[in-house]
Amino acid sequence: MRPLPRRRLRKLLTATAALALLAAPLLAFAQDSLEPTGRWTARKPGAAATPPMGWNAWNAFRTEVDEAKVMGSAQALVDTGLARLGYVQVNLDDGWWLRRRQSDGQLEIRTAIFPSAEVPGGDSSFKPFVDRLHGMGLKAGIYTDIGRNACSQAWDLKSPNLPVGSTAEREVGLEDHVDQDIDLFFGTWGFDYVKVDACGLADYAPGAPVVGRNGYRPREPLIVRREPAKDASARIEAMYRQVAAAMARHGADGERVLSICTWGRGDVRAWGGEVGALWRTSPDISPRWSSMLRSFDSVATRSLYARPGAWNDPDMLYIGAGDFDENHLTEARSHFALWAMTAAPLLIGYDLRQAPKALLDIWAAADLVAVNQDPLGDQAVLVHHEGEVQVLLKTLSGGRKALALFNRGGQPAKITLTNEQLKLAADAPVVLRDLWTGKDAPGFTGRAAFDLAPRETKVFEVRGAPLIADGVLLSEIPARIHVAQEPSWPPPADGFDGPVGPAGHTGGAQADFSPYRTPLAAGGRRFAHGIGVLANSRLEVLAAGEFQRFSANVGVDDASKASGASVRLAVYGDGRLLARSKPLRAGDAPVALNAPIKGVKVLELVAVSSDAAAPPVVVWGGARMTH
């Protein structure tokens, strides 16, 4: 047999080596948990395909609630036209229960304040109340706690509407009664929504003054106030999964909503979207500007964790009180605009029986409601932060974007925007429409300056030629990205989850920034767009067979300069390895990864580090899918 010519032999050896490279294991230190699944593993949206909208009793009445107040506000939703805009959820909060009957464990309703719940023979039922709301075209929500006791029993001790009776009778929470109570709420009473608080896991520790003074049964805390690193996250998650499973068994047909309320604790960022339709990300909001900022900050960098059927929840709207009353309409509009942009639930917390027109006009801002309810389900990405001004950009259906310019501070501010920040072609004319007024605003090409009054938020619909003419940046479609696996870490003292970076910033996987909120950079090269995430992570991207090619420049982020770990990054399509990098370390130049993805339904972006304990940050710079 005649030997092959040297050039052909070289080509054959090169091809053989390439095939071997693709067939080899990712790295000797690859972790089995990062193996690709070949499918989209995020929970399919059922309930709450768009963020829930409606009304909740708590901010208006706390436990001083009654049927007349609730039905009056429900009727106002209908009469003002808010229900036609989507405000259909009417939610009870704490204060409705009387006791847990000991003969059979049944919850009893405080019929003195909910008279329609009184049933002949001394029993009680919310079915007439729920049926009345349903007859008005509205939906009904109820409140409970994941533990044995509720929040009011620790924090509202002067309330006239606390549970009464013996220690056992006053244990009105779900613990030890999950199946029974969920069947009651959904199967018997017909509610559509349940908010499950977590004070029962936090405030009744052995030796706590509130336990001894009030004769409660002590309970080992799974959430330790002011010490989030001590949260028993796995046990908290397991308890909420029990609730979700009970809802699936008892008439909750996939259209019923589970609202998780652990206030951002228990690592809920990692599991909330797999268990409930929304999960609280912060402590309770109050009608103060600083409190609103804290709640907003808890979701502003979490765009990769929200999608249809799974929403970050910075708590209810507090428009109408304190810093957001009718004398502070600039602040009230900012509060509403930020919740709309971040795809947060829009739950009014005001006595709507006496709402002034100025406040009704904010809740009824149809263009902003449409931004919140856009069917793509993308949460706005925080694309720029300069001084006190933050810029949020949200992809909308129909090739549009929503833009919010937010002045956090108490002084006037100016911000200059560029086409690149808006992810538009550099020479593209930018067309703006003011979403508060509905009128066209002056457009620009290249860059433009905007003036903002103290605490003002300007919101625009944006149109223009996209930066990626034949495709999309991954950071433009956060709802199509599922952070399937990433390292866990003890949260910082403020309770927000995420690794603490050199500048004190925290966060999980980020769009257009590192998890430390530093600009994406590898080997000294900056990337305006991309995904930043800790290594030992797996991201799923819903390609849905719509694209031909994936490309990115990958490397170890310069924020991890001190790390000596090596990382290898790989791209899978429907479970098949398509491309991967060589081992990379901090300081190495980024490497281009390109992969054909024609017909691929699910991409998986996997980064495996040699350091399992302290993996560095990796950059998927300029990550995009093109046609």
**Which residues are identified as catalytic?**
197, 284
CB 298 within 8 A of CB 280: no
CB 554 within 8 A of CB 620: yes
SS3 at position 360: helix
Backbone phi, psi, residue 562, to 5°:
-80, -10
Torsion-angle region of 610 (φ positive above 0: left; ψ -120 to 50: alpha; else: beta): alpha
CB 175 within 8 A of CB 124: no
As a whole number of angstroms, the distance between CA 616 and CA 612 comes to 10
CA atoms within 13 A on the CB side of 293: 16
As a whole number of angstroms, the distance between CA 435 and CA 558 comes to 38
* DSSP letter assigned to residue 544: T
- Within 8 A by CB and 6+ apart from 289, the residues are 323, 331, 455
Q: Write the single-letter amino acid at 462.
A: V
Q: Write the single-letter amino acid at 41.
A: T
Burial class for 104, CB neighbours closer than 10 Å (0-12, 13-18, 19+): exposed
As a whole number of angstroms, the distance between CA 254 and CA 277 comes to 10
Which helix (H) or strand (E) segment is 242 a member of?
A: helix 233-249
Encoding tokens for residue 342? 């971040």
CB 448 within 8 A of CB 416: yes
Helix axes of 233-249 and 268-275: crossing angle, nearest 10 degrees: 10
CB 501 within 8 A of CB 583: no
Estimate the share of the chain in helix, then strand, then coil, as percent rounded to the nearest 5.
25, 30, 45
Match 């917390």 to its residue by tokens. 349
214, 198, 95, 92: which is closest to 147 by C-alpha? 198
